[in-house]
């Protein structure tokens, strides 16, 4: 086994910390520090600045004899604390847009700003402003759970292994997985566990912006409900801004504060569920008012509070991630009485 595959010197000798009380004081300190960095970035910019600004964005892919325009003059603004869901047909460029926000891909033309900077800029200084849960989990199959979660922290090359390990354990507990799973390999995990580990990895840098690409795809209804509960709790407790791509209408109505629809190579409408459904575009009418859409809408009508105003804890970021293991427990029950989903901003 290569050194890369087994980076924990104490593996197999030191016991893992017990659930709920890891030897986590150091982990919590380091996470607090990362959290303060994320906060400081927000403070520099002022809390009211948009988290994501996309202006006149073009994405064009060239292949021999063919030019594919995926995005054409696309505009989108995402404010702090939103859970903005991107919906659109397959191949309309939702994943590509997330990758551009993350800084993994550059648009052909136009501008993407994340907390006022180009997506790659801040991470180049050693802090992350974006974490992403990839469409198919994208765990490194040769790394165990803890190594997968710790990957970005290790890449920073500034923290000792023991602190990185603690920080990764904190995140493992935060997504509702006990320490007994830390040394498992991805092949030994259920679909729901893979999603949770991928989420822990996306959270490990305490980035204030979380991107979720199809977070509940492939989960059974109960697993999808549990994962939505987890995401709802984390969004509220950590004060995150979330951009989510989903084809699952239950997840969409369950979590979104605002919905943006991609069609005709741009965002054709962005607003509350009701505002979006009022748009006469054929994709929207098909998507929301077909059989599946009608059923999900019926659930929405049973919860008219879904269009009320957003309830995002403005101080959430201050306690960033530190009360480990409790985030899930504190997530509201599925039968909620409170104002969830938080109400949507009305701007487009």
Residues forming the site for Mg ion (CB under 5 A): 95
Question: Cβ distance 115 to 45 under 8 Å?
Answer: yes
Residues written for the chain: 348
Distance separating alpha carbons of residues 218 and 197, to the nearest angstrom: 15
Q: Taking CB under 6 A as the rule, which mask of x and - marks residues 69-88 in contact with ligand ATP?
A: -x-----------------x
- Looking at the Cβ atoms of 211 and 312, the one nearer to Mg ion is 211
User: Which of ligand ATP, Mg ion, none interacts with 241 (beta carbon under 5 to 8 A by kind)?
Assistant: none
- Looking at the Cβ atoms of 145 and 212, the one nearer to ligand ATP is 212
User: Which of ligand ATP, Mg ion, none interacts with 61 (beta carbon under 5 to 8 A by kind)?
Assistant: ligand ATP
Q: Taking CB under 6 A as the rule, which mask of x and - marks residues 38-67 in contact with ligand ATP?
A: -----------------------x------
- Looking at the Cβ atoms of 12 and 64, the one nearer to ligand ATP is 64
DSSP string, 252-308: HHHH-SEEEEEETTEEEEEE-HHHHHT---HHHHHHHHSHHHHHHHHHHHH-GGGGS
Strand order in the sheet with 83-88: 130-133, 209-213, 241-245, 83-88, 258-263, 266-271
Residues 21-40 that bind ligand ATP (CB under 6 A): none
Which of these, 309, 303, 25, 35, lies nearest to 169 by C-alpha position?
25
User: Which of Mg ion, ligand ATP, none interacts with 297 (beta carbon under 5 to 8 A by kind)?
Assistant: none
User: Which of ligand ATP, Mg ion, none interacts with 90 (beta carbon under 5 to 8 A by kind)?
Assistant: ligand ATP
**Total binding residues toward ligand ATP, as defined by CB under 6 A:** 10
95 binds ligand ATP (CB under 6 A): yes
Q: Among 9, 20, 91, 126, which residue interacts with ligand ATP (rule: CB under 6 A)? A: 91
Residue 306 CA, chain-centre distance (Å), reads: 20
96 binds ligand ATP (CB under 6 A): yes
Burial group, residue 19, by CB count within 10 angstroms (0-12, 13-18, 19+): middle
DSSP string, 85-131: EEEE-TTSSHHHHHHHHHTSS--SEEEEEETTB-HHHHHHTT--SEE
92 binds ligand ATP (CB under 6 A): yes
- Looking at the Cβ atoms of 87 and 276, the one nearer to Mg ion is 87
What is the contact surface with ligand ATP in residues (CB under 6 A)? 61, 70, 88, 90-96
């Amino acid at each position: 086994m290569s050194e890369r595959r087994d980076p924990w010197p104490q593996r197999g000798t030191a016991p893992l910390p017990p659930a709920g009380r890891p030897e986590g004081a150091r982990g919590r300190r380091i996470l607090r520090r990362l959290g303060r960095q994320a906060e400081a970035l927000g403070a520099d910019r002022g809390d009211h600045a948009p988290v994501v600004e996309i202006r006149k964005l073009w994405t064009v892919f060239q292949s021999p004899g063919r030019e594919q325009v995926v995005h054409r003059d696309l505009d989108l603004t995402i404010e702090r604390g939103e859970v903005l869901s991107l919906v659109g047909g397959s191949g309309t460029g939702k994943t590509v847009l997330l990758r551009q926000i993350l800084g993994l891909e550059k648009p052909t033309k136009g501008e993407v700003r994340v907390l006022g900077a180009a997506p790659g800029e801040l991470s180049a200084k050693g802090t992350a402003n974006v974490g992403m849960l990839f469409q198919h989990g994208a765990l490194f199959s040769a790394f165990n759970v803890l190594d997968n979660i710790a990957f970005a922290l290790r890449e920073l090359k500034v923290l000792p292994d023991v602190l990185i390990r603690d920080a990764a354990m904190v995140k493992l507990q935060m997504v509702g997985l006990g320490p007994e799973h830390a040394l498992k390999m991805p092949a030994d995990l259920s679909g729901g566990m893979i999603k949770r580990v991928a989420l822990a990895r996306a959270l490990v840098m305490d980035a204030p912006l979380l991107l979720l690409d199809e977070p509940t795809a492939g989960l059974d209804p109960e697993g999808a409900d549990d994962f939505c509960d987890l995401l709802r709790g984390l969004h509220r407790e950590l004060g995150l801004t979330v951009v989510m791509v989903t084809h699952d209408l239950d997840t969409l109505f369950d979590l979104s504060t605002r919905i943006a629809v991609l069609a005709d190579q741009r965002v054709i409408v962005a607003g509350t569920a009701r505002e979006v459904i009022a748009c006469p575009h054929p994709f929207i009418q098909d998507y929301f008012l077909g059989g599946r859409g009608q059923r999900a809408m019926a659930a929405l009508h049973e919860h008219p509070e879904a269009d009320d105003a957003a309830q995002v804890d403005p101080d959430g970021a201050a306690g960033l991630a530190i009360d480990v293991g409790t985030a899930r427990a504190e997530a509201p029950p599925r039968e909620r009485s409170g104002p969830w989903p938080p109400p949507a901003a009305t701007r487009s």
